[in-house]
């Protein structure tokens, strides 16, 4: 006698959590969402985070001045009104992490370090760790619109949209039209029959599988086939199509949060006119980038404030925005009017769970990161040198996940936790 | 301008003094008891065929193994002589060397190539070193040739944009042929290719150190970055002070004493501008001595002096770690899992065989195919948690395997505007299908994901639609629906024979009666609403989405 679908489901669920398989984090209870914005290429800390006026070892820009919002110092400039406007309005919910170090100057190594804490490939990045720990049961736990994405054990929680937004076409079937051969979409009711058949088949295979990786793989396939059956409706609601600009990308991710579909989202800021942040020449590009970035963040915050949350009146109270770049820029100008790579960099945390209006850590007169007391955020010789693991631990703590399992040697930055 | 820290290293701990009786002890690595159970012969045939040829076994091969399971060994041993093996090796090497990326510092437009050649340009550059490695392997030359030959492999596109000459040997079906650089670069096989160093470029601050680290990681399987960091970087803003620190601070010396001399040998690939063709296209022999000048150290290979960069390939080839690394790379690719400490004895045994056999890659691959780790399909009852987590008892097809297997089955290749949709990320679905982009995704997905399932769904629908149309209305002979007419219905002899053959072709085994019954039911249901064509198309599509098809 063949087992029923219910029996198969029960059996394959048991197999999914079979002992001995690579351990994934158990789902936590936090409803906090994380919106990652990645400024890829290496931003110039002297355009925002490091007001090192007066240092002969640092080239600051003309007309820039130091301003302070609450206890948050920043570099202000007439060309960046959006930065000023954002911090004037949201500075009380914004904090900087200054002077943490990705110990390399190669983009690929620093990217991986900034996102995972290690240069090695066998690691999951912050969004996938959080997604697996607190949102694995969601339809689209981690939406990666663009930007870096590193997965190891938790690849199944990451839903990549593709460089040109390929995911919606896959979901709708329009992908078939992107073929040199003439193809037609399968009629919807036929497709539903196909999906149901496949779901049943996968269920059977999962139940038949022996323990070990075969069982784990097929249990995952079962879970995925159920998502395939549900994803079209969600995609239609999300309007995946329009994500060309940073504004659109942020809006889509916020929409996904509001619909309870995702726990994390990642979007890359490609810079003004898509010129990026890797300014080996033309350092003024950095200023244009920050201006555009903060204009987009401003819109995102307004949208979050206007959107009801899952458990709060405003989604703004449930979303933490994490803005980061894999490296900083060398403090002195090079011969081409640009700045080269620098291992020290900063990150920005905004919103839910964040103690705003402060800057943690700092830069010395050579623009090197300084030791910091993680409990107060103050620069202190008795403190620690911050590395990406401290950021990762902080994010996990914000997500309600015990960071010690992942970062036994790096503490969260308690000063940032509201 | 220099950065304080380029690669961090561990402070060397003082070596403990062994007791006299310990000095004599020789530790022989012993493999732990293997707790896996082997695949049956048909499943092994299927796995090996997809791994080494990228296609499913033929119905004749399936029948031969059904009749005599012992025949499988000879069959799969011959797969390394199949013409499709070279293409598969390129795919497998890509997983380790990570050169098949979407972005290089130069674009097709920098060479006035038309937009429809953009994909071909990206893949040609990235595959140059991989093609050379694969060619050395399939020609059964000693593996040392891979890093010592004065030739590379090039296709017409590369011949048109780089300083290369065709050496006059025949091209393969894809146009790749032996070629030689004409810019005076020393012989060095893959380590003297543009493709490798375009992927692993260096910046003005880095002075080839990241390239030296890549060389070690890729060809010796030794990663400087795995060494723990036991100090904090200090901001040193000039090159001389940095070099002094690197050469005197014990924590730095541990890595940089070997890394910097190696980096010093790579300055023929030093570019003054990393975005101009004239700089990137050619090797610059006149810059070779800039390495010792900038890094303030002579060229050397892990302590062995180099007279000039021409010594690089031979010294690499003579390094015992090179041999062992070749074994690890091949094992990792075929086991579909990382090589770990528990594999030490197995890898050692394979390396010994590799050396005894004159470093022939085909023999190495055959040896891996004979091993338990490759053939594992289940677990013994007594298997523990470690084996359960580690052994690859089932593997998922990569996008490249999926593409070639589906093309072979159905004749369908998903192309759009010159791009292979399963193997590019710009417009296509490589990473979404579980593949790697060589930069942010550097290992194939081991388990299904939502996007992998969606890609599989659309690929299956497209391929099924194509093959049904071609089989019923085309002129080139039938691929999957042999002997069935549009009037045949479930229960008719033609229908039943086609249904059986379809299952055997896709799954390399006979279907169960339940499977056949479900297939008939789906066919009938779709037929009632959509007709014969759609019924067969839907049936083929769902069988392609069955894990029995896309796992091995």
Contact criterion met (CB < 8 Å) for A368 and B338: no
> What pLDDT shows up at residue A164?
85
When pLDDT is averaged across residues B235-263 and rounded to a whole number, the result is 77
Q: Which of A152, A201, A341 sits opposite B203 (nearest CB)?
A: A341
Set out the domains of chain A in order of their start, with CATH numbers: 5-15+175-227 (no CATH), 33-172+243-416 (3.40.720)
> What pLDDT shows up at residue B234?
55
Contact of B341 with chain A, judged by CB distance below 8 Å, is answered with no
Cα(A150)–Cα(A81) distance, integer angstroms: 34
pLDDT at B231 over 70: no
When pLDDT is averaged across residues B152-176 and rounded to a whole number, the result is 96
> What pLDDT shows up at residue B246?
74
B125 phi/psi in degrees, rounded to 5: -60, -50
Contact of B432 with chain A, judged by CB distance below 8 Å, is answered with yes
pLDDT at A21 over 80: no
Cα(A243)–Cα(A255) distance, integer angstroms: 12
CA B105 to chain CA centroid, Å, is 22
When pLDDT is averaged across residues B353-370 and rounded to a whole number, the result is 97
The pLDDT confidence band at residue B274, using thresholds 50, 70 and 90, is confident
- Torsion sign over Cα A155, A161, A166, A167: positive
CB atoms inside a 10 Å sphere around CB A239: 13
When pLDDT is averaged across residues A38-42 and rounded to a whole number, the result is 95
pLDDT at A180 over 70: yes
Indicate which of B450, B452, B537 best probes the interface with A, i.e. most A CBs within 10 Å of its own CB. Answer: B450
pLDDT at B368 over 60: yes
Maximum alpha-carbon separation in chain B: 87
Chain A partners of B514 at a C-beta cutoff of 8 Å? 2
> What pLDDT shows up at residue A364?
95
Indicate which of B116, B440, B469 best probes the interface with A, i.e. most A CBs within 10 Å of its own CB. Answer: B440
Chain A partners of B6 at a C-beta cutoff of 8 Å? 104-105
Closest chain B residue to A151, measured at CA: B441
Decide if B329 contacts B93 (C-beta within 8 A): yes
The pLDDT confidence band at residue B238, using thresholds 50, 70 and 90, is low
pLDDT tens digits, one per residue of B289-326: 999 999 999 999 999 999 999 999 999 999 999 999 99
pLDDT at B239 over 80: no
Among A15-24, B28-37, B508-517, which is the least confidently predicted range? A15-24
Q: Which of B203, B529, B545 sits opposite A189 (nearest CB)?
A: B529
pLDDT tens digits, one per residue of B50-105: 999 999 999 999 999 999 999 999 999 999 999 999 999 999 999 999 999 999 99
Q: How many helices (H) and strands (E) does chain B have?
A: 24, 9
Decide if A392 contacts A129 (C-beta within 8 A): yes
ipTM: 0.88
When pLDDT is averaged across residues A82-95 and rounded to a whole number, the result is 98
When pLDDT is averaged across residues A145-171 and rounded to a whole number, the result is 90
Greater confidence (B9 vs B424) lies with: B424
Closest chain A residue to B210, measured at CA: A106
What is the average pLDDT value for chain A, to the nearest integer?
90
> What pLDDT shows up at residue B22?
52
- Give me the residues paired with residue B360 across strands: B142
User: Comparing C-alpha atoms, which of B549, B249, B534 is closest to residue B405?
Assistant: B549
User: Comparing C-alpha atoms, which of A329, A330, A49, A280 is closest to residue B237?
Assistant: A330
Residue that is written with structure tokens 């010796």 in the block: B220
Contact criterion met (CB < 8 Å) for A150 and B441: yes
Residue B84 Cα distances to A85, A366, B439, angstroms = 61, 57, 27
Q: Which of A111, A213, A332 sits opposite B391 (nearest CB)?
A: A213
Residue B20 Cα distances to B15, B16, B23, angstroms = 15, 12, 5
The pLDDT confidence band at residue B187, using thresholds 50, 70 and 90, is very high
Please name the residues between 211 and 230 in chain B that touch chain A, using a CB distance below 8 Å: 223, 225-226, 229
Indicate which of A40, A118, A194, A195 best probes the interface with B, i.e. most B CBs within 10 Å of its own CB. Answer: A194
CA atoms within 13 A on the CB side of B480: 30
pLDDT tens digits, one per residue of B452-504: 999 999 999 999 999 999 999 998 889 999 999 999 999 999 999 999 999 99
Among A149-153, B257-261, B352-356, which is the least confidently predicted range? A149-153
* Predicted TM-score (pTM) of this structure: 0.89
To 10 degrees, the CA torsion angle through B193, B198, B203, B204?
A: 60
């Amino acid at each position: 006698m063949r087992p029923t679908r219910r029996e198969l489901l029960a059996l394959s669920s048991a197999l999914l959590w079979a002992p001995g398989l690579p351990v994934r984090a158990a789902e936590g209870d936090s409803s906090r969402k994380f919106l990652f914005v990645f400024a890829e290429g290496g931003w110039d800390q002297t355009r925002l985070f490091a007001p090192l006026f007066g240092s002969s070892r640092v080239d600051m820009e003309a007309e820039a001045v130091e301003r302070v919002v609450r206890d948050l110092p920043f570099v202000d400039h007439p060309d960046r009104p959006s930065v000023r406007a954002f911090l004037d309005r949201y500075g009380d919910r914004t904090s900087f992490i200054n002077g943490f170090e990705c110990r390399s100057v190669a983009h690929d190594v620093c990217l991986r370090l900034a996102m995972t804490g290690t240069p090695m490939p066998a690691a999951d990045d912050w969004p996938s760790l959080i997604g697996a720990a607190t949102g694995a049961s969601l339809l689209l736990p981690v939406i990666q619109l663009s930007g870096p994405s590193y997965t190891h054990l938790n690849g199944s929680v990451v839903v990549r949209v593709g460089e040109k937004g390929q995911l919606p076409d896959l979901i709708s079937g329009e992908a078939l039209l992107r073929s040199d051969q003439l193809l037609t979409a399968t009629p919807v009711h036929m497709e539903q029959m196909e999906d149901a058949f496949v779901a049943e088949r996968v269920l059977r295979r999962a139940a038949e599988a022996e323990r070990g990786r075969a069982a784990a793989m097929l249990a995952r396939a079962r879970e995925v086939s159920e998502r395939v059956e549900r994803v079209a409706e969600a995609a239609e609601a999300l309007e995946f199509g329009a994500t060309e600009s940073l504004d659109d990308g942020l809006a889509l991710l916020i929409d996904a949060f509001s619909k309870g579909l995702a726990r994390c989202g990642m979007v890359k800021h490609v810079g003004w006119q898509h010129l990026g942040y890797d300014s080996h020449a033309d350092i003024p590009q950095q200023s244009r980038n920050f201006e555009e970035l903060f204009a987009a963040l401003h819109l995102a915050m307004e949208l979050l404030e206007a959107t009801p949350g899952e458990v709060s009146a405003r989604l703004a109270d449930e979303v933490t925005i994490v803005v980061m770049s894999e490296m900083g820029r060398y403090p002195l100008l090079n011969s081409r009017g640009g700045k080269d790579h620098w291992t020290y960099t900063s990150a920005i945390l905004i919103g839910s769970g964040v103690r705003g209006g402060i800057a943690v850590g700092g830069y010395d007169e050579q623009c090197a990161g300084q030791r910091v007391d993680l409990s107060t955020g103050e620069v202190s010789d008795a403190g620690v040198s911050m590395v990406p693991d401290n950021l990762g631990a902080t994010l996990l703590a914000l997500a309600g996940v015990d960071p010690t399992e992942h970062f036994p040697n790096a503490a969260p930055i308690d000063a940032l936790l509201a | 301008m220099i950065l304080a820290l380029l690669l961090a290293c561990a402070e060397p701990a003082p070596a403990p003094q062994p007791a006299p009786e310990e000095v004599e002890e020789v530790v022989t690595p012993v493999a732990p008891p293997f707790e896996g159970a082997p695949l049956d012969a048909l499943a092994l045939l299927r796995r090996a065929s997809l791994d080494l040829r990228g296609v499913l076994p033929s119905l004749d091969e399936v029948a031969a193994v059904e009749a005599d399971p012992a025949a499988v060994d000879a069959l799969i041993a011959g797969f390394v002589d199949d013409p499709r093996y070279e293409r598969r090796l390129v795919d497998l090497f890509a997983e380790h060397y990570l050169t098949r990326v979407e972005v290089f510092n130069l674009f097709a437009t920098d060479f006035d190539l038309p937009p429809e050649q953009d994909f071909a340009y990206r893949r040609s550059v990235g595959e140059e070193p991989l093609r050379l490695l694969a060619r050395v392997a399939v020609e059964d030359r000693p593996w040392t040739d891979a890093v010592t030959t004065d030739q590379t492999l090039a296709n017409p596109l590369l011949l048109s944009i780089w300083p290369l000459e065709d050496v006059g040997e025949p091209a393969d079906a894809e146009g790749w042929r032996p070629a030689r650089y004409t810019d005076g670069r020393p012989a060095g096989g893959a380590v003297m290719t543009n493709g490798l160093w375009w992927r692993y470029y260096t910046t003005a601050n880095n002075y080839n150190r990241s390239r030296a680290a890549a060389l070690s990681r890729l060809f010796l399987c030794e990663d400087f970055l795995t060494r723990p960091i036991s100090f904090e970087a200090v901001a040193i803003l000039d090159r001389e002070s940095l070099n002094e620190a690197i050469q005197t601070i014990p924590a730095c010396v541990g890595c940089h004493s070997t890394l910097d001399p190696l980096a010093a040998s790579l300055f023929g690939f030093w570019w003054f501008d990393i975005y101009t063709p004239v700089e990137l296209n050619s090797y610059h022999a006149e810059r070779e001595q800039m390495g010792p000048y900038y890094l303030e150290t002579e060229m050397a290979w892990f302590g062995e002096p180099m007279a000039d960069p021409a010594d690089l390939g031979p010294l690499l080839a003579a390094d015992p770690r090179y041999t062992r690394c070749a074994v690890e790379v091949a094992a990792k690719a075929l086991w579909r899992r990382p090589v770990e400490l528990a594999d030490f004895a197995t890898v050692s045994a394979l390396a010994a065989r590799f050396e005894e056999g004159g470093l022939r890659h085909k023999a190495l691959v055959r040896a891996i195919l004979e091993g338990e780790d490759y053939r594992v399909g289940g677990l013994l009852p007594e298997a523990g948690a470690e084996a359960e987590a580690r052994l690859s008892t089932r593997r998922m097809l990569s996008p490249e395997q999926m593409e070639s297997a589906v093309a072979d089955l159905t004749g369908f290749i998903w192309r759009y505007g010159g791009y292979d949709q399963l193997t590019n990320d710009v417009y296509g679905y490589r990473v979404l299908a579980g593949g790697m982009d060589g930069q942010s995704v550097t290992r194939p997905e081991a388990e299904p994901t939502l996007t992998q399932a969606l890609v599989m769904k659309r690929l299956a629908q497209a391929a099924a639609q194509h093959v049904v149309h071609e089989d019923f209305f085309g002129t080139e002979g039938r691929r999957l629906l042999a002997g069935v007419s549009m009037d045949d219905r479930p229960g008719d002899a033609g229908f039943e024979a086609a249904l059986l053959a379809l299952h055997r072709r896709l799954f390399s085994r006979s279907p169960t009666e339940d499977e056949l019954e479900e297939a008939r039911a789906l066919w009938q249901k779709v037929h009632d609403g959509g007709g014969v064509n759609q019924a067969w198309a839907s049936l083929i599509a769902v069988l392609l989405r069955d894990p029995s098809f896309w796992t091995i």
